[in-house]
Each structure stands twice: as structure tokens, then as C-alpha cells.
Chain A
Amino acid sequence: MTDRITRRGLVKGGTMLAGAAAGFGTFYGPWKHNRAYAQEGKPIKIGLTCDASGMYGASGRDELRGITMCIDEFNANGGVLGRKIEWITADTETNPATASRVAERFITREDCSILIGAIHSGVANAITQVAEKYGTIYLNSNSSAPTEAGENCSRIKFVWDGNGTNFTMSSVKAAVERVGKKWLLLTNDYVWGHETSDATRKLVEEAGGEIIDELLIPQNTRDFTSYLLKIQQISPEVVAPAVGGDDGKILRAQVAELGLDKQAAWVQSQQDWPDVWSAPDSIVGIFGTNWYHKLKLPGVDDFVKRWQARADADAIPVPGNVSYCGYTAMRETLRAIERAGSTNNIAIIKELEQLKIPAADRMQDYDAWMNPDTHHLQQTIYLARRNPNPVDDTDLYEIISASKPEDVIDPEEGKLCKLAPYEQIPTVDG
């Protein structure tokens, strides 16, 4: 028997090899799904991945109001590129697993070409991973974990809220110098809490302060008495809580009830308006925000009136930072589509990477811009405390400072974020 290689055998073997290579190639990737939904006259479909229940349910619903308001306004003016905008939403339950399923369904079954919404950083990260697989643009409108535009950044994701480090930078240095050097960290035991407390620790130590203890608080904690007893025994000069959502609301109520904010200064990262509104008597210490409905700036009053005109009966009487972030993230992205003249994802991404928003348009004190290397919007960061002289029931904040975006840039973000090249992003044409 000879081992001659015949022509027929070579063709057969080559075909099998090519088939196998194609099969393995398909299996092992690169996983680049190119999708084209765009048809003239067909609406652009956007998936709203907002929490409607769970720890951030109240904030998620407020975010939804801002996003849908923006879409309604665009549709009233003829939509985008002459196409109407449709939206769909499903409750992500403040749960990464649910959010992942919702995102997958919105992209593969509902043909959504853009996703927007998340408060919880775990939820935002889960949605990012799904969106990244398909090249779908994802707007993280309200999740403020530093990792979102740091190690978990993505070419398809844009982060619109200030992050924990931005807020901490606006307050920590002054607090160490003027209030005290002995700090205690209260950390919600998930990504945002850890990242925010890590940023606080670093800044406190750089400013000459000392972290004397850190207490980790599991999510969905309802009774903080043990923690409050321990804080009293440790006697820090400053307490820096990174506790969000329902947990944060309950913590503040229990701190206010005991008057513990008079024993130590409470310096908090960011307070979301829906959380503050539900318990206005429990505002303690100083905290950050990126917007307030009584800022004396162009466009604010008009925005508040338009928001109130379409608010449902269940809504808070005035918009807050969460609704504002949802609205502006959606608005800037739809404007970017108009400027790009296309719904191609890469074209939109390139437009957003060059985004510059004048202060008057942004309704903040200083101009904002998108960092093209991290996809994080750099913006004004405000420091606030309880308003001692409110002019009405909604006037809960006294804004005590406004930091320029360049003064509160997160120094770590740029080092940790590695955006994939455009060529590796699956194209989507919505």
C-alpha cells in the first residue's frame, strides 16, 4: 500500500480542513456580530434598562422619567434623521443577572440599537458585557462606580454621571484640613461602595488624614444599630459613608434619629435626589451632586417646568440629578446621531468621543466634555448640605461649592481604562 498523495485526496482533505477551520473559526471567534436594523422610515429602537424595583428602584423610575421625556421631545420635533424613536423598558430589578437577560433580549429580540440606564454598578457592568458582545452602544446614565470608566470601561459604553472619586475629591481635602484627620469608612459591600471608599482612603491619606477603621455593610441591610454603636465606640472625627439606595436612606434616617451627625462630621460621596426626597428630615452632613433644580443657571427653570408638565402622579414634584442625567445622556446621544448623519454605532461613538457641552446647554456652572480615552463625561461637581433656609418644600439643598471638572478628574481612570480598537467592535446600524 502506497502513501501517495492523490489530487482527489488533496482536494478532499483540503475541503475538510477548510470546513474544520471555518467551523473552529466560527466557534472560537472573533465574535463579531454585524447587525443592520436601519431601514428608511423604520423607527430607531432604544432599550431602557432601568431598575424599577430593588435597592435602586426609586432612582431607576426617576431615571426613566428623564430618558422618556427626552425621547418624547425629540419625537415631537420629528425624531432623529427623520425617523421616530421607539423605546422599550423592562425592570432590571437592581440585579446584574436580570439586567444581563434584559439586555440580551433587548438586543437580540427587540432589535434595540442603543441601551441606556442603570444606577447599580453591578447592573451597569452586566449590561456592558452583553452590549459589548454585540457592539450595541450602552449609555451608563447614573452608575457612579469609578470602575465604570476605569477597568470596566468599554468602547461601546459612555458614562454620564460623576464618579465616586470625582465627588470625593471635591470634599475630602477640605474636610481633612478643617474638620479632622481621624476618618471611618462605611462601605456598601459591592463594587461602587468599595471603589468609592478606596478613592476616599487614598485622598484622605494624601491629605494627611488617617483611616482608623472601615465597616463593610452588606446590601439590603435594614438595621444599622450595631454599626452605629461601633462608630460611637471608635469615635472618629469624620465618617465617610459610601452606602447607596434603600440602604443609604435607612442609614441616614437612623443616624438623624440619634443625632449622630453632631458627634462626628458625615462626608458623603453622592446623594441621589429620589433617596433624599423620600426622607428629607434625615439629610446629614455634606454630600455631592451634579445637579440641583434650583441652580440659578440658564435653562434650569424651563427644564423643571417641562419635566413637571409630563410627570406622572407618582413622581417627585421636581426633577433631581438622576432624572437629569438620564435626560442629558439621551439628549447628547440623539444629537450625536444627528451630527453623524448616521445610526452606525462607530460613527456615533466617534461623535460622542468629541463631545463638548457648553455650561449653559448642560445647565451646570462649567463646560463639560467627554474624555475620549475613558468615555467618562467630565463635568461640574457640586457639594451640598441641608438647606437651613428653604424657600419651599423642595428646596432641600444648600449648594456650598461648585468644582470645575478639571479640578476633580479621577487620576486612576485613564491608567486603568483600555478601550478596544474600533476594528474590533461589531458594527451595528440601528
Chain B
Amino acid sequence: MFNLIPFLINGLTLGLLFALIALGFMLIVGVMEQINLAHGSLFALGAYVAYALLGPPLPLPAGVGEWWAELPLGLRYVLALVVAPCIVGLLGILIEQGMRRTYGKDPLFGLLLTFGAAMVIEDVIRSIWGTRDYILPTPDAISGGFIALNLIWSTYRFFAAFAAFVFILLTWLLIERTRFGAVIKAGAHDSEMVRALGYDLAKLRIAVFAIGTMLAAAAGVIMAPIWGIRPHMGVDAVIPAFLIIVLGGVGSFWGAVIAGLMVGMVIGLTAAYASEWSLLSMYILLIVVVTFRARGLFGKKSILEA
């Protein structure tokens, strides 16, 4: 019998990472009721932009690229964590401009549009960075391993889990503790009333979509040193993100966080005790939950269920 504690700790960190991956997806689905299938590609783009900032010197005007490369890696990493989401957020605004024509129409239009955007983004990635893999360099302070419980653990993984916790907290504060959050939630609930009160709903939607895509990119930057960077890495993110949203209940912030933690815990524990079931376990968890509670753990009750 193995010592269970390391696997519980691992499950918790993995769960936080999964929650981070699902966070941007949750925000757009929950607040705008739009499924953003480009989430995975935006996640990948975030990782690639970070690589551009942290990898080999950029082809910038004389001296600028060298100046950037000479900055300490730690500083560049922090800047990448800010700059990459901002650049991807601008792209998010562009996608939202296209999506607004689909609001109030068949949800299939939005799905198709974001699916198309995902394919375009992935092809742009291939044409700029090629098809090979990259490893995102990380500062020494958060690289390598440390010993605890007589085992070697990855320092970066704990940093990533902590960063995930911070992003979750900031997103919660934004939605639950700010006037902006109150207005976007109200807009999702009754858009006409929000308009009548003088708020520009179009601008609010742009802001939500941009924040959602920025969160996707931030997750990409944080996960890149663990997963590696390759053009199709978005697929690895969008599938668990979708699953977590359904499991937690569409529109529920804490549902997504708790579902992420549950998925991480289930994968972590099954990998230890029945390794061949580790990836399958999250789908089994989804089936079990949805069988008994079709709207997910914290999803709102549908009028059809009344």
C-alpha cells in the first residue's frame, strides 16, 4: 500500500491547474452564454507568445531584441505572464466583434464561428512558429525539484498551482465583489433592464470576452513548462475545460472550481492506484454526476425540470 498523502497533494495541485484551464471558458459560457471553442487555441497562442518573449531573441530593431534578451529571465517571465494575455485579449476582442452578430440567434452560429477561429489560430501558429515543439524556459527560482515527505517534487508545479489559486481568487473578486461584476451578471440575467439603466451592454460583452481569452492565455503560459508547447496543445486544454464546465454546472463559478479540483483529484488518485484508468476516470466522473444530476453539480435548475 502506498502512502496516500502525496497523491492527495498531487490531486489538489492538479485540480487547481484544471480549474485555471477552465476559468476563461467558464467566464464566457457563464456570463455570455456563448461556448468559445477557440478557448484551446487561445490557450496555445498564450504559450507561444510567452515563448516568443522568453525564448531566442526576437527579430526586433537593432539593439531592442538584445536588450530584451539581456533582462533577467525572472523579470521577463513575469512580463510574459502579463503581456501574453494582453496580446491574446486583443485577439479575443476581434473574435467578439464577429460573434456579436450571432447573439440571440441559433447557438450553432457561435459554435461554428469559434470553431473556425480555433482552426485559423492554430494555422497561424503553425505558419509563424512551425510545427516543432518548444520548451518554455523558466527562472531558476521556480525550476527543478525539492524534497518533502521523502519524495522529490516539482517546484514549478507548486508555483503553477499557486498562480492558479491567485487567478481564481482575482476572477472571483472581479465577478462577486466589483460593480463591474454585478453589472455583467445582471446583463446575463436581464439584458434589457441593464440597457434601460444606461449601461452599454456591447462594451460589457467585449470586456468579458477579452477577460475570458486573457485567462485562457494566462493558463497557456502557466501550463507551457509542464505540458510543452506544440500547435495542437489547445486540444489538450479545451476538452477538460468543457468537461469541467458541464460537471460543475454551466454558469457556476464555484461549480467550475470544485469540478476542476474533483477532476484533478480523481486523475491523480487513479494514476496512483489504477494507472490505466487515469484519463478515463474524469469521463466516468462526468457520467456518474450527469446521470444523477443532469445540470451538473451547481448548475441552475432548468424550467423543464420544474
> Which residues of chain A have a CB within 8 Å of any CB of chain B?
52-54, 57-58, 61, 189, 215-218, 220-223, 225-227, 229-230, 232-233, 246, 249-250, 253-254, 257-260, 263, 274, 277-279, 281-282, 313-314, 316
Contact = CB atoms under 8 A, between A and B. Distances in A.
15 contacts: A58-B133, A215-B275, A216-B276, A217-B275, A223-B17, A227-B271, A229-B7, A257-B143, A258-B144, A258-B152, A258-B153, A278-B133, A278-B135, A279-B135, A279-B228
B278 A218 contact: yes
Contacts of A254: 154, 226
B10 A226 contact: yes
Contacts of B133: 58, 246, 249, 278-279
A216 B267 CA distance: 14
Interface string B194-228: 00000000000000000000000000000000111
A253 B134 CA distance: 11
B232 A229 contact: no
B164 interface: no
B273 to A, nearest CB: 9
B130 A227 contact: no
Contacts of B154: 225, 254, 257-258
B142 to A, nearest CB: 11
B236 interface: yes
A57 B7 contact: no
A217 B278 CA distance: 8
B179 interface: no
Contact of B14 (A220, A223, A316): A223
B232 A54 contact: yes
Majority secondary structure, A binding face: helix
Interface of B: 2-3, 6-7, 10, 13-14, 17, 130-135, 143-145, 151-154, 156-157, 226-228, 230, 232, 236, 267-269, 271-272, 275-276, 278-280
A218 B151 contact: no
B230 A58 contact: yes
A249 B133 CA distance: 9
A229 B279 contact: no
Contact of A277 (B130, B132, B227, B276): B132
Contact of B157 (A217, A225, A250, A253): A225
B156 A233 contact: no
Chain A CB count within 10 A is highest, among B14, B152, B157, for B152
Chain B CB count within 10 A is highest, among A53, A229, A233, A277, for A229
B279 A249 contact: no
Given A221-B278, A222-B236, A249-B228, A278 B152 contact: no
A226 B156 contact: no
A314 B132 contact: yes
Top-10 shortest CB links A-B? A226-B271, A278-B133, A216-B276, A314-B130, A258-B145, A218-B279, A215-B275, A258-B152, A222-B227, A229-B6
Contacts of A278: 132-135, 228, 230
A93 to B, nearest CB: 10
Contacts of B279: 218, 220-221
Contacts of B10: 225-226, 229
A167 to B, nearest CB: 23
B272 A230 contact: yes
Given A217-B275, A230-B2, A230-B272, A246 B228 contact: yes
B130 to A, nearest CB: 4
Given A223-B226, A257-B145, A53 B271 contact: no
B55 to A, nearest CB: 13
A226 B272 contact: yes
B144 A259 contact: yes
Contacts of A222: 226-227, 236
Contacts of A225: 10, 13-14, 154, 157, 268
B86 to A, nearest CB: 26
Contacts of B13: 225
A313 to B, nearest CB: 7
Contact of B276 (A218, A226, A229, A233): A218
A253 B276 contact: no
Contacts of B7: 226, 229
A233 B60 CA distance: 49
Given A258-B145, A258-B152, A226 B228 contact: no
Given A218-B280, A223-B226, A223-B227, 4 more contacts: A249-B133, A257-B143, A277-B132, A278-B133
Given A233-B2, A254-B154, A58 B276 contact: no
A355 B275 CA distance: 43
B278 A57 contact: no
A316 B276 contact: no
Nearest to B280: A218
A53 B280 CA distance: 22
A246 B145 CA distance: 22
A57 B271 contact: no
Nearest to B232: A53
Contacts of B131: 52, 57-58, 61, 314
B198 to A, nearest CB: 47
Contacts of A250: 226-228
A232 B236 contact: no
A313 B132 CA distance: 11
A259 B6 contact: no
Contacts of A274: 132
Contacts of B2: 230, 233
A277 B6 CA distance: 33
A246 B6 CA distance: 26
Nearest to A55: B232
A52 B157 CA distance: 30
